[in-house]
Amino acid sequence: MVEITVKAVDSASAMEEIEKRLGADAMIVSTNRVDGQIEIVATNDDPSKYHKTPEPLVLDKNYRIKGFSEVLNSKLSTDDKPLNNESSENHIQIAKNAENIKGEIDKLVELSTLSNGSKENESNVSKIFQMSGIKKSLIENTEHLDSRSSIKDASKILAKAFINGKCDHFESSTIYLVTGNDGAGKTLFTKKLKNLFETQIDAKSCTIFEQFNGKKSLTEIKSWFSKNKSKIIEKKKIGIIELLNKENIDNFVLNLSKLGSDIKISIVNLVPVGNSYEYLMKNMPKKRIEHEYLALSKLDLCDLSILEIAAFVELNHKCMFFSGVPASNEGLYFAKIEQTVDHIVQTIENRMD
């Protein structure tokens, strides 16, 4: 192998010198300008040995700041690249599924928190009662529940809206009308009410008018009133009337009030427990007369449900009596708020367990 370097003022002179020294078959390896002269490197060796070696691939700064997947993507042909629309749709669907899963988990966490019931706030207490079927407005209508409210606080609000409590007009009434549907137990209730008045409330003497209806009823009551007028006015004698026809109660009350200005009349609506919320809302009219009270019977056979309480509150009926036990001399007592609160709290907590 022979390799020479020739310098000359121009390329023609350099080539002439190379041809003299290596012959006409000499191969030019490189040509450069150095210090104002032409420098040529030539050889008479195998030209294949002088093929240029490929330079290594060096990524510039634009490529270096991109991720590998982006660089690879840019090198692929159009046919090899992933479909952007399909990738975007998959991403959107995954995001929706993740959001749905998160929502379900949040619901489970919320229900778990409600079940623990250790520190209920206003929102949780309202939701607990709504889960039992009670409208939120019934709990928050009369009093505001703050962050310190408990199930018992809300139960007391509901109980106060349901229980009548002590009523001077009721206790000083002259005539009591007991109404209710067939099967409610009106006859038994009137006997219990008579026993209650004669043994507990001023030891009044009571006269029961059973299954009265229409003009015949009024005739007998007027006769009774005429014979006992002084004792009736002095509240030493009272009358308890069991009405059959509930539809004529307005006319009946109007005719009774004509007996005398001192006559005080209280109406007791007798309803057996065990009715559905829907049945009560559909079949029981709202309270229309001021001195109208509710008595719940057959508590020895069935518990009073929270939905029944809710229905009575919505219909504006206040409960005066609870009645149970099929005996005429016992099983009737005035409804009390604390007793009702305990019943509501126990029912709610049993459902949470």
Query: Rounded mean pLDDT of 128-137?
Result: 78
CA distance 160 to 202: 27
Same domain membership, residue 226 and residue 110:
no
Co-location of 116 and 187 in the same domain: no
Mean pLDDT in residue range 59-79: 52
Instruction: Indicate whether 73 belongs to any domain.
Output: no
Same domain as 180, residue 147: no
User: Do 170 and 36 share a structural domain?
Assistant: no
So what's the pLDDT on residue 88? 65
Asked whether residue 289 is assigned to any structural domain, the reply reads yes
Q: Kindly indicate the confidence band of residue 119, based on its pLDDT and cuts at 50, 70 and 90.
A: very low
Res 118: pLDDT: 45
- 11 and 101, same domain (yes or no): no
Both 151 and 175 in one domain: the answer is no
**3-state class of 282 per DSSP?**
helix
Higher pLDDT, 163 or 172: 163
Average pLDDT estimate for 19-46: 82
Is there a domain that residue 288 lies in?
Answer: yes
CB neighbour list of residue 204: distance below 8 Å, 6 or more residues apart: 197, 198, 235, 236, 237, 238
Mean pLDDT to the nearest integer, 48-55: 55
Residues 126 and 145 in one domain: yes
The residue segments making up the domain with residue 103 are: 92-134+141-156
CA distance 18 to 39: 11
Please, which residues bridge with residue 175 across strands? 239, 265
Clarify whether residues 198 and 316 are in a common domain: yes
Identify whether the C-beta of residue 296 lies closer than 8 Å to the C-beta of residue 323: yes
CB distance 214 to 248 below 8 Å: yes
Structural domain includes residue 70: no
Higher local confidence (pLDDT), 307 or 103 = 307
| pLDDT for residue 322 | 94
Q: Is the pLDDT of residue 77 over 60?
A: no
Q: Are residues 279 and 311 in the same domain?
A: yes
- Residue 9 in any domain: the answer is yes
Selected residue with higher pLDDT from 136 and 189? 189
CATH of the domain at 244: 3.40.50.300
Question: What confidence tens digit (pLDDT) does each residue in 217-266 have?
Answer: 678 888 888 888 888 888 788 899 998 766 577 778 888 888 777 788 99
pLDDT in tens, 276-334: 999 999 999 888 888 999 999 999 999 999 999 999 999 999 999 999 888 888 889 99
Say what the alpha-carbon torsion angle 213, 215, 218, 223 is, to the nearest 10 degrees.
Answer: -130
Q: Is the pLDDT of residue 67 over 60?
A: no
* Highest-confidence segment of 11-25, 198-212, 236-250, 296-310: 296-310
pLDDT at 86: 60
Residue 10, domain member (yes or no):
yes
Range from 37-41, 134-138, 253-257 carrying the lowest mean pLDDT:
134-138
For the cut 70, the answer to whether the pLDDT of residue 83 exceeds it is no
Domain total of the chain: 3
97 and 169 in a single domain? The answer is no
Percent of residues, the chain, with pLDDT higher than 70: 76
Mean pLDDT of 196-219: 76
Please tell me the total number of residues recorded for the chain in this structure. Answer: 353
Residues 201 and 323 in one domain: yes
Residues 6+ apart with CB under 8 A from 131: 114, 351
pLDDT, the chain, mean:
79
Q: Give yes or no for residue 33 having a pLDDT over 80.
A: yes
Put simply, whether the predicted model's pTM sits higher than 0.95 gets the answer: no
Domain check: are 274 and 177 in the same one? Answer: yes
Please indicate, yes or no, if residue 58 is contained in any of the structural domains.
Answer: no
48 found inside a domain: yes
